[in-house]
Amino acid sequence: MGSARARNCLHRPPCAVCSAVTIWHCTLPGPLPLSAICRSGGFPPSFAPSMLRLLRPDRLAAFFFLPLLGALQAWALADAQGQPNWWAQLLALGGFFLFLDGSRSPWQAAWRGWWFAACWLAAAFAWLYTSMHVFGGLPAPLAVAGVAALAGALALYYGVAAVLYWYARVHGYLGSAVVFAACWTLAELARGQWLTGFPWGAIGYAHVDGPLAPLARWVGVYGIGAVAALAAALLGLSLAAVPGYIFGRFIHVARLPVSAPRLLSPLLWLGALTAGLHYGGQWQAAQWAQADAALAQRPPVRLALLQGNIPIAEKFDPSTGVMDSLNWYGRQFLERKESLVIAPETAIPVLERDLPSSYLEVVTAPYRSGQQALLTGLPLGDAASGYTNSVAGIRPGEPDYVYSKSHLVPFGEFVPPMFQWFNDLMNIPLDSFSRGLPVQPSFAWQGERFAPNICYEDLFGEELARRFADPSQAPTVLVNFSNIGWFGDGVVIDQHLHISRMRALELERPMVRATNTGATAIIDHRGQVQARAERASVQVLSGQVRGVGQAGEADSITPYARWAGHAGLWPLWGLALCTLLLVPIVMRRLPRMA
């Protein structure tokens, strides 16, 4: 910190702003304007009126503005039109970073981190209210409280991360941004893996169409989130530093001995990051163009994706929804002519023992001989061995194929310890499934290997990556079977679609989605939607898909699939922890830098 600026600063000890950014209040001789900003928080005690001591503007600003920033970050995942907005995510997190960096104590940092994350997460999965209230029968106040409680519990990870940042933050723009990115990444990883994990709404999904998307094949969604956090912090510092310098000189508040390059340092770092992403993206696009030209020669597989749109309120009612499902899907099984017919999760909603006599034999007969194959969701098992949420595959001349869901949904497919009381409050079936094996064989058909995943299993990219550990058995096409009608037909459908798109980017495999209410779609290996059925409608989506990769071909496996398939997310854990530990040490040993 320059000595002249330290003497001019009204805070004791001098505030952190005065070591980097020209802020007007540090040299104002009179009362401070309400627009004054200080990273150490609030007004100097010598100038603050008694009322402002009780209601400090920094506390009021954090209380009211952090929810707006959290809502903006949730909106960035999928707006009203269902589109992700990467720029909004950067603005939201950049604004939060400024509030966090201005915390005056670790407790204030924890509060701000928790408050921002709780509002963001509550907005991101507010659709849980529909499941709890409309279909679960929970009274509306309890359903709202349930969503808030879940968001508040998950936000604790970010409150702890905020405290870590407060203790580890360093002087200098780049160092602060890097430490913030490491802390944020640790929180995202913990939320995604601990206590079964619930990483829905991770910030990386906002970038599925943005300039960070090419990084998916290298570092996955959490790596994208780390780079996004770094960029957001630099953006926030730029938005705070540049106006302070420009307007401070314009109104001649002071002529402090600070050079423009130093004040513009965060903007320069942000520009360097942007340039690297731009040229890296161009190089990646050239590589993709060559690979796609060769892929175009591969024969496609013709698909029929069935979307029955059976009302959830009736789907498991034997007198209405069950018969509607069996009749509609059974008719489609018999009438479709495509090479591969795919029906969604629990398209057949009851166990085989509860089906009409000979139902399965009749509707699957065309697939046991001829040139067609079938994949359909249904429950399997018995009371002795346990029930599974499964996919059955039928093809001519081969034994029946079965895939059973491994990563189950809490409260929907199993009850977490000590929460049976909450499950008893709701009236939702399917709460006692058994888990399938973590890695299961793919469904081989017409030279492709179709790898099923059910419902939100596609939320866990590191688990899908395990299937690529053995290149000779690596999937060539991913298939998601979902029934998220429990959560309505709103933004949850678009959020889930973008999750599948991110998996396609990470693993560079097409993702085919068969759902009950949406989004039924065909996604190519670049994460682009090639065809999509209208949500909440009865529809059959016909199309084709070309798999990527051959048996034993290791070159088609992405770097992310390689390291995540063998080591899970431990490399990211290690990198984030090392960054958090080493950067403060290095920065404190070096001369103070911008």
Distances, alpha carbon 319 to alpha carbons 351, 376, 427, 431, in Å: 15, 22, 18, 21
Cα 353–Cα 420–Cα 378 angle in degrees, nearest 5: 25
| Residues present in the chain in total | 594
List, in sequence order, every residue forming a beta bridge with 445; answer none if it has no partner: 448
CA dihedral 43, 45, 49, 55 (to 10 degrees): 60
* Separation between Cα atoms, residue 331 and residue 318, nearest integer Å: 18
* Separation between Cα atoms, residue 135 and residue 132, nearest integer Å: 6
* Residues 547, 525 contacting (CB under 8 angstroms): no
Would you give the DSSP letter of residue 529? E
* Separation between Cα atoms, residue 434 and residue 436, nearest integer Å: 7
Q: What are the residue numbers of the active site? A: 345, 405, 455
The H-assigned helical ranges of 296-390 are 312-315, 321-335, 359-368
* Separation between Cα atoms, residue 214 and residue 232, nearest integer Å: 18
In which residue are the tokens 């696009």 written? 285
SS3 content of the chain, % helix, strand, coil (to 5): 55, 10, 35
Structure tokens at 131: 């499941």
The residue among 97, 59, 371, 125 whose CA lies nearest residue 235 is 97
3-state secondary structure (DSSP) of residue 525: coil
* Separation between Cα atoms, residue 146 and residue 152, nearest integer Å: 10
Amino acid identity for residue 65 in this structure: F
The residue among 65, 163, 159, 58 whose CA lies nearest residue 118 is 159
Structure tokens at 62: 């954090």
Structure tokens at 46: 């010598």
* Separation between Cα atoms, residue 343 and residue 240, nearest integer Å: 52
Structure tokens at 450: 């179709």
3-state secondary structure (DSSP) of residue 519: coil
In which residue are the tokens 């201005």 written? 102
